[in-house]
Amino acid sequence: MGIHLPLQAAAKREVPESLVARFDAWSAEYDRTVLSLQGPYAEVFRGYRQILDRVTALVLSSLPSAGGVGQALGNSPLRVLDIGTGTGNLAQVFQQKGLRVEAVDPSPAMRSIAQAKLPGVRVRPGHFLSLPYLGSTFDAVASSFALHHVPPVQLPAALQELRRVLKPRGVAVVADIAFPTQVERARLIQRLLAEGNLQLLEGIRREYMPLVPRLIRTAEGAGFSCRAEQLTEWVWAFCLARL
Ligand SMILES: C[S@@+](CC[C@H](N)C(=O)[O-])C[C@H]1O[C@@H](n2cnc3c(N)ncnc32)[C@H](O)[C@@H]1O
């Protein structure tokens, strides 16, 4: 039974209810988890604030008008979408930079925390496979720690959906857990086994953390140029430019 619900949800391009329930349940403790540097996920979230700052810097430096962000901020602020916003921390960094941010997340409890934190940001239900916007709406799309919830079979569709909402010269920066090679993945799994960190191990087995070259190829197939930058032992930033 456990496996049928996610498969049905995947076929319907929905986020499985079990996944939404997991994030609803985590929402109240989420910020403590990512900032505390304690618990089974600590090493994955190490450098969390710096990762969000780097994503923001990559977006700002990649935009066609980057040289003139100040100018762009004059009359019509650059529009950025944060996908899988969670408690809104990445959206908040963009807002602090003066960008016009919107955010989506499939978890109602996550959304209500993000909305309370960011009254000026519209936080809506949505997810990688279903973004509630017209085509060519955003100058940039960003996401942190969320893409690994999309099953590999749906990745091409997710990246096409992301491309759809971007303006023609738009950019996307996606930061997430990824492995450069199978060997590195195996090495990390061996280390977690040796350390007895079964909770993180279970997360890696259950979720869809991609191999870097594979994600680059998928992005290229979806109509992007893509370059990857390693941010920490676990986290990579993928910079996608719409071709
Ligand atoms: C680990 S949290 C990351 C939250 C936030 N982006 C951050 O960096 O702290 C993952 C978030 O992705 C959301 N999520 C799960 N599946 C998703 C999907 N298919 N599309 C978009 N977001 C998803 C979850 O509800 C959750 O809020």
Residue whose CA lies nearest to ligand 1 atom number 8: 144
In a domain, 113, yes or no: yes
Is 88 a member of any domain? yes
So what's the pLDDT on residue 6?
55
pLDDT at 65: 60
Residues flanking ligand 1, CB < 6 Å: 15, 19, 23, 34, 83-86, 89-90, 105-107, 110, 127-128, 144-146, 149-150
The answer to whether position 121 is within a domain reads yes
Tens digits of pLDDT across the chain (243 residues): 334 445 555 556 899 999 999 999 999 999 999 999 888 999 999 999 999 999 999 999 988 664 444 444 455 789 999 999 999 999 999 999 999 999 999 999 999 999 999 999 999 999 999 999 999 999 999 999 999 999 999 999 999 999 999 999 999 999 999 999 999 999 999 999 999 999 999 999 999 999 999 999 999 999 999 999 999 999 999 999 999
Q: How far, in Å, CA of 12 to CA of 114, rounded?
A: 27
Our count of domains for the chain comes to: 1
CA 169–ligand 1 middle distance (angstroms): 25
- Assess if residue 89 is contained within a domain: yes
Within a domain: 204: no
CATH number at residue 161: 3.40.50.150
Q: Is residue 137 part of a domain?
A: yes
Quick check: is 118 in a domain? yes
Ligand 1 pocket mutation pick from 127, 174, 207 by most atoms within 8 angstroms of CB? 127
pLDDT at 72: 47
In a domain, 91, yes or no: yes
Domain, as residue range, for 160: 4-175+214-242
**So what's the pLDDT on residue 9?**
58
**Separation of CA 220 and ligand 1 centre (Å):** 23
Tell me, what's the pLDDT at 185?
96
